[in-house]
Amino acid sequence: MTHGYTTGTNTGPGSDPESTPAYGIPQQRQQETELAPAPTKAKGGGGRDRYLDLLRSIALVRVVIYHLFGWAWLSVLFPSMGVMFALAGSLMARSLNRPSLGVIKGRLRRLLPPLWAFSAVVLVMMFGMGWNPLKDPDMGGTWWGAAKVLDYIVPVGAPPYPEHLGSESGLLESSWADQAAGPLWYLRAYLWFVIASPLLLWAFRRIPWATLLAPLALTAVVGTGLITIPGETGNAVSDFAVYGGCWVLGFAHHEGVLKQVPRYLAVSGATLIMGFGLWWASGHLGPDGWDLNDIPLAQATWSFGIVVILLQYAPSWQTLPGRLARWDKLVTLSNNRAVTIYLWHNLLIMATVPIIDQLYNLPFMESDAATSFLDKADTFLMFLLIWPLIALAILAFGWIEDIAAKRRPRLWPNGVSGGGSRRRGA
């Protein structure tokens, strides 16, 4: 039986960079988030910018659906990772009004505990199924190679995992470790962006346009094969280049630089950059066709243009307007638990498979027609099942984000009194 989920590993040319997210760990004072930043204050006064909250929620949902169905066109419809990096960059620019060393330490404190909880579960599963880093030939069979396991604690590099573990007949398919570790590329990229932000913001305030466009130029060099950097170093540099423009666009949004550009000029320029991205993609299609995750320069330029337009037209909503108001609780919850959702969704997608397989054992499923129907509906059933599993993960692990932010732990912070009220910045 073949299931329809498509999860990814690291990001380099030809790989899937969304195994991903990402995304919020609340901070002190302004309840800022880490992986997916918490909302900034609305320009009209106090409160939260619900437009940014909404963008973050859409990005997270899109990532989950992408990894479930594997639809390449979703990378064009809404470049989630570029949006998430832009929102994080805007938050980082605001935070750097304080001493930079303290801000970086605060980011680490809020980012790492949720990662440790996830890593503990994954590592226990891998070790319990017989993986030994010292005997893994892909790690050189040395203590130095095995030390890469520390990337599960502080993601400065790519965490190791066995390409195949267990068996196809087990509860999880043999590539589960590869899939589960996939989202960690985003934490690595985020961490390096955070560390580089004091210097990037200093440069942006002095030479804004050069700093803004430099990542696109770097992508044209390292993301097209013009210069090849091997191994995980190359992947890390490529990630930094592809999404660096979006991160700096977050600076531009916070500093008000985007608003200084006439809207018609900003949108026209963004459209030209996006058009170039699609043109480049058309001549460099990857194994999944128009999946921009496989085409670094197209991903960088398309994401850059989309983010410019989204931020140029950004309203300042203190509350979600009209029919969007019905989604207020879910938007609040997803923003407060963005890290948990992002980290766990890949593993939970795989967990839906053995659960659905149990349906074949039901008495009324013995006929060929029933079995055929279930075979055809399995991906849809995975879509229905993933959301309650994510809810369980929020209940089981989400409170760690509150502990990391030095706040009172909450099980279901959706803005309702008792679950984390908006007055508390949830």
Q: What is the pLDDT of residue 47?
A: 57
Q: What is the pLDDT of residue 35?
A: 56
Q: What is the pLDDT of residue 138?
A: 79
Q: Are 191 and 198 in contact (CB under 8 A)?
A: no
Cα–Cα distances (Å) from 350 to 3, 173, 334, 342, 355, in that order, read 9, 8, 21, 14, 9
- Three-state secondary-structure class, residue 289: strand
Comparing 34-38, 76-80, 313-317, the range with the smallest average pLDDT is 34-38
The pLDDT of residue 79 is above 90: yes
Confidence label for 231 from pLDDT (cuts 50, 70 and 90): confident
Q: What is the pLDDT of residue 173?
A: 86
Q: Are 237 and 222 in contact (CB under 8 A)?
A: yes
Whole-number average pLDDT of the chain? 87
13 contacts: CB under 8 Å, gap ≥ 6: 223, 225, 238, 294, 295, 296
C-beta neighbour count of 143 within 10 angstroms = 10
Q: What is the pLDDT of residue 45?
A: 41
Q: Are 411 and 395 in contact (CB under 8 A)?
A: yes
Q: What is the pLDDT of residue 257?
A: 94
Q: Are 64 and 338 in contact (CB under 8 A)?
A: no
Q: Are 145 and 161 in contact (CB under 8 A)?
A: no
Q: Are 25 and 110 in contact (CB under 8 A)?
A: yes
Q: What is the pLDDT of residue 1?
A: 44
Q: What mean pLDDT do residues 374-387 have?
A: 94
Q: What is the pLDDT of residue 191?
A: 96
Q: Are 338 and 35 in contact (CB under 8 A)?
A: yes
Q: Give the residue, 350 or 20, on which the prediction is more confident.
A: 350
